[in-house]
A and B are shown apart, each in its own frame.
Chain A
Amino acid sequence: MASYQADQLKEQGNAAFRNGEYLEAEALYTQAVQRHSRNPLIYTNRANVRLKLQQWDGVVNDCSKSIEITGANAQNHKAWYFLAQGQLGLHHPNEALTSALTAYDQVLHPQPTAKISPKDLETFSAFVLKCKKAKFSARDLERLRRQGDLRAELESMLETQRQRDLDEVTTQLHRSQLGNIEASERSQEISTTLDDKITSLRTVFAAADPANHKAREVPDYVIDMITFEPMHDPVMTKNGHSYERATIYEHLKRSPTDPLTRDPLTIRDLRPNFGLRAACEAFWDSGASEWIADWS
């Protein structure tokens, strides 16, 4: 009985969602959850409406609950996909990438009963790329921040040393171990030396700062020839050319031919290209965001 009422409320929630009445839909799903809390779909649907309302914490909770009910290894690609979006909303790009990859994997290798919509693979693949960009740009920002902290710390140590050396000269002057002219020459020398050190320090840090690097060309081999985006799951055709899996699938749906040679080609002819995949990973690791400043 409780589960029947919950289903009714869920249907009403779905109708409200379709009409764009998100607050209304969220309230209906919440009532449904209170009636019957073991239906993972209610949580997934509420997560979807909470995405629209940008309630990221709520999204993450609902998806986690949905995944907990079905089991972490069970087909639940929508929950994983919404979870990834919630985590990205909360600025947790690492977690978001892991969730997005799980969603992508579940759509690529679905269980026989799974309901997959035709655009899922393309959508999830694009979202994996988005998470990657977020992850690596966050990492670079963090590195810059830490580099900035380190520079400030070193500069303040040099300043302390300058002060100590100058104090030493003053002390010697007061004890008449140094004459006025000699003391002023010493002070001058100390300041010049320290200024030089600080200049060198800044030069070294500036050289290590990716923002000061000239824009580099993104290597062609990581770029999918169809979307012009970097690849993360490249597959190879019979002629040896590689494409991002989701985009070549999209092309083959329309025309079962090799894009370059027009020879017959189907999904079954494609092979994963693990070597290129590793090379793409290495590209991201090498500080991809500095190459792709205009890519996001």
Chain B
Amino acid sequence: MAGMSGKRLQKELAKIQGVLPPGISLVSAEDLREWQMDLIVPDNPIYPPDEKYRLRFHFSTNYPIEAPEVVFMLLSTPERKIPMHPHIYSNGIICLDLLDKQGWSPVHNVESVCISIQSMLASNTKAERPPGDAEFVRSNRSRPRDINFLYHDPTV
């Protein structure tokens, strides 16, 4: 594995296999390039406490200098929905500044990204999709990090 990502990911994995904050769990990391994590959102009626959401992390060889690609996955067994949120499209793409080129910093890691997404969901009050969701899902062909989102709502 080229670049610094291999060793860094091995160490993150070793750490994550120990302890994780409540509501966050590692599902798989058989391939160091792609990990899956499950999230539970506490204390928010929009998200039932028994419902888990599956995140897929994809790492380039330049991780952590480059941000990972992080999306929600839609699965039938076990059932995993895409959580309703004004910054999460129905195809799982998340609009969060820390995941894009400008907002990313190499001191972030899988755990801190999960915590940020969890708290973004926990503080959400609107069970809705971003404006233009249907159009975006139909037409988007870019990878998430190449999309220029408009952060029209900096309060979320």
Report which A residues bind B (CB closer than 8 A): 122, 126, 225-229, 247, 250-251, 254-255, 257, 259-260, 262, 294
| Identity of the chain B residue whose Cβ is nearest the Cβ of A257 in the assembled complex | B105
Inter-chain contact B4/A260, CB cutoff 8 Å? no
| Identity of the chain A residue whose Cβ is nearest the Cβ of B64 in the assembled complex | A226
| Identity of the chain B residue whose Cβ is nearest the Cβ of A296 in the assembled complex | B7
**Can you list 29 A-B contacts with CB-CB less than 8 angstroms, sorted by A residue number?**
A122-B4, A126-B4, A226-B4, A226-B64, A226-B65, A226-B107, A227-B4, A228-B7, A228-B8, A228-B11, A228-B12, A247-B4, A247-B65, A247-B106, A250-B4, A250-B65, A251-B65, A251-B105, A251-B106, A254-B65, A254-B66, A255-B102, A255-B104, A257-B105, A259-B105, A259-B107, A260-B105, A260-B107, A294-B14
| Identity of the chain A residue whose Cβ is nearest the Cβ of B106 in the assembled complex | A226
Known contacts A228-B12, A255-B102; 11 further A-B pairs (Cβ under 8 A): A225-B106, A226-B107, A228-B11, A250-B65, A251-B105, A251-B106, A254-B65, A255-B101, A255-B104, A259-B107, A262-B105
| Identity of the chain B residue whose Cβ is nearest the Cβ of A119 in the assembled complex | B3
Contacts of A227 in B (CB 8 A): 4, 7-8
**Chain A CB within 10 A, most for which of B11, B65, B66, B101:** B65
Contacts of A255 in B (CB 8 A): 101-102, 104-105
In Å, the complex CA distance between A227 and B102 comes to 20
Q: How big is chain B's contact interface, by range?
A: 10 to 19
B111 vs chain A, min Cβ distance (A):
12
In Å, the complex CA distance between A254 and B11 comes to 23
Tell me the dominant secondary structure on chain A's binding face.
loop
In Å, the complex CA distance between A294 and B18 comes to 15
| Identity of the chain A residue whose Cβ is nearest the Cβ of B15 in the assembled complex | A228
A235 vs chain B, min Cβ distance (A):
15
Contacts of B12 in A (CB 8 A): 228
In Å, the complex CA distance between A259 and B101 comes to 13
In Å, the complex CA distance between A251 and B8 comes to 15
**Chain A CB within 10 A, most for which of B4, B14, B64:** B4
Digit string of B97-126 for contact with A (CB within 8 Å is 1, else 0)? 000011011110000000000000000000
A166 vs chain B, min Cβ distance (A):
54
B2 vs chain A, min Cβ distance (A):
10
Contacts of B101 in A (CB 8 A): 255
Contacts of B104 in A (CB 8 A): 255
In Å, the complex CA distance between A222 and B14 comes to 18
Contacts of A254 in B (CB 8 A): 65-66
| Identity of the chain B residue whose Cβ is nearest the Cβ of A226 in the assembled complex | B106
In Å, the complex CA distance between A254 and B102 comes to 10
B36 vs chain A, min Cβ distance (A):
21
B1 vs chain A, min Cβ distance (A):
13
Contacts of A294 in B (CB 8 A): 14
B71 vs chain A, min Cβ distance (A):
22
Inter-chain contact B4/A259, CB cutoff 8 Å? no
B21 vs chain A, min Cβ distance (A):
18
In Å, the complex CA distance between A260 and B107 comes to 7
Contacts of B65 in A (CB 8 A): 226, 247, 250-251, 254
In Å, the complex CA distance between A250 and B14 comes to 25
**Chain A CB within 10 A, most for which of B11, B12, B101:** B11
Contacts of A251 in B (CB 8 A): 65, 105-106
In Å, the complex CA distance between A251 and B4 comes to 12
| A-B pairs with lowest CB-CB distance, top 4 | A228-B11, A259-B105, A226-B106, A259-B107
